[in-house]
Amino acid sequence: MSRKPKSDPGRGSEAFDAHYRALFGERWPALEASLLAEPDSIPFRAGPGLEPYFMDSASIFAAECLELPSEARILDACAAPGGKSLVLASRLGPGSSLVANELSSDRRRRLRDALDRHLGPEQLGRVTVAGRDAAAMCRSYEGAFDAILLDAPCSSERHVLSRAKARGDGRAPSEWSPSRIRGLALRQWSLLSSALIMLKAGGCLVYSTCALSPEENDRVVARAAVKFGTRLVFERPAHPDAETTEYGVSILPDRASGAGPMYVCRLRKLSAES
């Protein structure tokens, strides 16, 4: 007689709840409720008279944290669905250009649509859409960019909970597992390492995610601190609702009027002689 396999205690809704309760303690129920609530969404216009793009105010903040020289080559390394690229395009100086890169062809179509619909002709003319693997781009673009935004693929717990709720799965999908966090953290590190190689000396890089776990945020940045040593300077951008972390700031919806989650760390790369 065959036996029904036991459920994996490290997977599913209960494991999800236990993982984030361990991180946030008594705060978790309120934070979880805020993640399930209607997300923050405000209209962003890349210029006067242009069609608004609705996005989380914390996402706008992340893109605005990237400091852009007046004449610069900018990279949005993981650009889809396009909101942060719109923010960057709206801030380009007259001698600057933006590469909006997205590996996924489906997401790249969404990115192109967002740029076409929400940018003016002059802005659009200074934006190039690319389809490279940003983790491997450093082989061809070492030191090629003056500023880089890396909004890395992440666990995106808000979307996980929303999708589960819509499907009637409960508070989280039955297939959730901490191994997904570990896998994403490895991918995030490969992306950040590549981005720092592509960044010029003196350049600015913003690393951001919409993840809650330190494994995908500070711990990824910590690896960069070890690899690049004193060549990196870390900054915590100012935001009225930001909570300080070791290397950056975190904006969480239960304490930021629904905005976030958004982790943001700003890095500066010094020359080898510095």
> Which tens digit of pLDDT belongs to each residue from 195-242?
999 999 999 999 999 999 999 999 999 999 999 999 999 999 999 999
Confirm whether 204 is a catalytic residue. no
pLDDT band for 5, please (50, 70, 90 cuts): very low
pLDDT higher than 80, residue 175? no
Total-model pTM: 0.93
Contact 243, 249 (CB under 8 A): yes
Distance CA 194, CA 139 (A): 8
Query: For residue 273, what pLDDT is reported?
Result: 58
Residues of the chain above pLDDT 90, percent? 83
pLDDT band for 2, please (50, 70, 90 cuts): very low
For the chain, what are the domain ranges?
12-269
Query: For residue 4, what pLDDT is reported?
Result: 38
> At the topology level of CATH, where does 12-269 sit?
Rossmann fold (3.40.50)
Biggest CA-to-CA distance, the chain: 74
Which residues have C-beta within 8 Å of that of residue 257, sequence separation ≥ 6? Answer: 40, 241
Residues of the chain above pLDDT 70, percent? 91
Q: Which of 65, 78, 138, 210 is catalytic?
A: 210
Query: For residue 9, what pLDDT is reported?
Result: 54
pLDDT higher than 50, residue 134? yes
> Which tens digit of pLDDT belongs to each residue from 59-113?
999 999 999 998 999 999 999 999 999 999 999 998 999 999 999 999 999 999 9
pLDDT higher than 70, residue 167? no
Beta bridge mates, 101: 130
Beta bridge mates, 263: 209, 250
- Higher-confidence residue of 168 and 207: namely 207
> Which tens digit of pLDDT belongs to each residue from 31-65?
999 999 998 999 999 999 999 999 999 999 999 99
Residue with tokens 């200074």: 126
Query: For residue 174, what pLDDT is reported?
Result: 66
